[in-house]
Amino acid sequence: MTPSEVLKLAKEKNVKSVDMKFTDLHGTWQHFTIPVNEMTLDIFEEGLGFDGSSIRGWKGIECSDMLCMPDPKTAFIDPFTEFPTLSLICDIEDPMTREPYDRDPRGIAKKAEQYLKSTGIADTCYMGPEAEFFIFDDVRYSNTSNACSYSVDSCEGIWNTDREEFPNLGNKIRHKEGYFPVPPMDQLNDLRDEMMHVMNDLGLKIEKQHHEVATAGQAEIDIRFDSLLNMGDKQMMFKYVTKNVAHRHGKVVTFMPKPLFGDNGSGMHVHSSLWKDGKPLFGGDGYAGLSQLALWYIGGILKHAPALCAITNPTNNSYKRLVPGFEAPVILALSARNRSAICRIPTYSPSPKAKRVEFRCPDPAANPYLAFAAIMMAGLDGIQNKIDPGEGMDKNLYDLPPEEAKKLKMVPESLKGAIEALNADKDFLLKGGVFNEDFLDNFCALKKAEYDQVRLRVHPIEYAMYFDV
């Protein structure tokens, strides 16, 4: 869609407001709104100014002016506003240099696609995330100097089997048994259906929706794969739709990786593949029907996985999920079909077009633009350096004998460990100027501050364990 076509669409849909959306470092959409009469062809060239110092991790107050540049190809009619509103996803520019702002996540995704083409290896990287999330009925939390608490609730929560519901009809999903009973045990099918249909109406091309493994409303909705930048945009729209559909039904969605103790957390398995001139490059006669290029790509992901975790699993809470026994792979290995390996090769179809690698470590707290770009950069480094991924591990890696298990490498156990890994292994991200030192130093500093926020606080379980010492 061109700028002129955007203006035409606004007139056809009787649009009253135009919403400018952009993504901060943490993967959260920010926005401001203008009346439709302020949307002229000029804003697509000249941009709209805003205060970058008020965005977490961006400019200092002494150089805060930034430009928001709407991308006409991203225009959509917002389904959640009272007044007819056209939304545009934006890039960020420095108003002095008119260069893309190097801390803009969407700009990094664009640079990643440009770098891919410059290598000559491929011209398209397809991404297919499987983002899981929880739908809760109530959430409460508090942190003060003398107390801390949290509580979430769900109509499906197994802990509500004896709650007064006038009447309580049961239909509570037991821990790890949410994959996937039919209604009435699954009480959220209609809500997920509504999310799916809204997404389809917005052009997201949904493949399926279903309940996930955990109790208390864990869900998954799968988007059809798309190119790296487009999928970053779609993943942001995905979160926007799920949260707003839930909100209008008096519920709340969270993409927090591990909101419940003792049950599965929410992952975001990311499928990726490289194509060139419209042809897939990952099919071949190697392990699991892969090409040598695909195996090198996986070798790069396995080598750089500890560093990737800082970007693909960017919260303290992420590492509550990355433990054995809850379907979250932590072992750096390649396997066909085996879901306990961190890199899995789906075997649903023998077609070369279907050959891809599923990186199972990431979670939906990740900024999608950064996560997809970093995964691809790791894979490209594997191809460029012909990194061998090792033998496929076609066994349950959680049940290995101790002498075998101790030989395997694992992802970091904490956000601090992931930050340290990224600081020690970041050259692959700097290629082609996709990421730069300023971005990575700033990102690691922000994440170190998050780690310290948790490290310094007293946890309630510590009272249970140590109060009587």
Is position 327 annotated as part of the catalytic site? no
Please indicate whether residue 99 is annotated as part of the active site. no
* Full 3-state SS string of 106-174: HHHHHHHHHHHHHHCCCCEEEEEEEEEEEEECEEEEEECCCCEEEEEECCCEHHHCCCCCCCCCCCCEC
Q: What is the dihedral of CA 90, 93, 99, 105, to 10 degrees?
A: -60
Cβ partners under 8 Å of residue 318, min gap 6 = 257, 258, 309, 363, 365, 415
**SS3 assignment, position 34:** strand
User: Is 358 among the residues known to form the active site?
Assistant: yes
Which residue is catalytic, options 103, 269, 304, 356? 269
DSSP 179: S
Is 194 assigned a catalytic role? no
- State residue 295 phi and psi, 5-degree precision: -65, -40
Pairwise CA distance, residues 284 & 351, whole Å: 10
CB-based contact 148:140 (threshold 8 Å): no
- Distance in angstroms (rounded) separating the CA atoms of residues 133 and 396: 26
* CB-based contacts of 456, cutoff 8 Å, min separation 6: none
The DSSP element (H or E) to which 191 belongs, if any, is helix 189-201
Active-site residue, from 212, 226, 233, 450: 212
Which structure tokens are listed for 26? Answer: 């943490």
**19, 93, 186, 220: which one is catalytic?**
220
Tell me which of 104, 132, 222, 363 is the catalytic residue.
132
Is 339 in the active site?
Answer: yes
Instruction: Please identify which of the residues 51, 193, 201, 404 carries the catalytic annotation.
Output: 51
Residue tagged 């056809």 (tokens): 12
Identify the three-state secondary structure at position 186.
coil
Residue 360: active-site member? yes
Q: Are 336 and 392 in contact (CB under 8 A)?
A: yes
Candidates 123, 177, 339, 425; catalytic one:
339
Instruction: State the catalytic residue, choosing from 93, 226, 360, 450.
Output: 360
220 is known as an active-site residue: yes
| Catalytic-role residue among 91, 93, 130, 222 | 130
Examine the residue annotation and report whether 212 is marked as an active-site residue of this protein.
yes
Cβ neighbours of residue 407 under 8 Å, at least 6 residues apart? Answer: none
Task: Write out the catalytic residue numbers.
Answer: 51, 130, 132, 212, 220, 269, 339, 358, 360
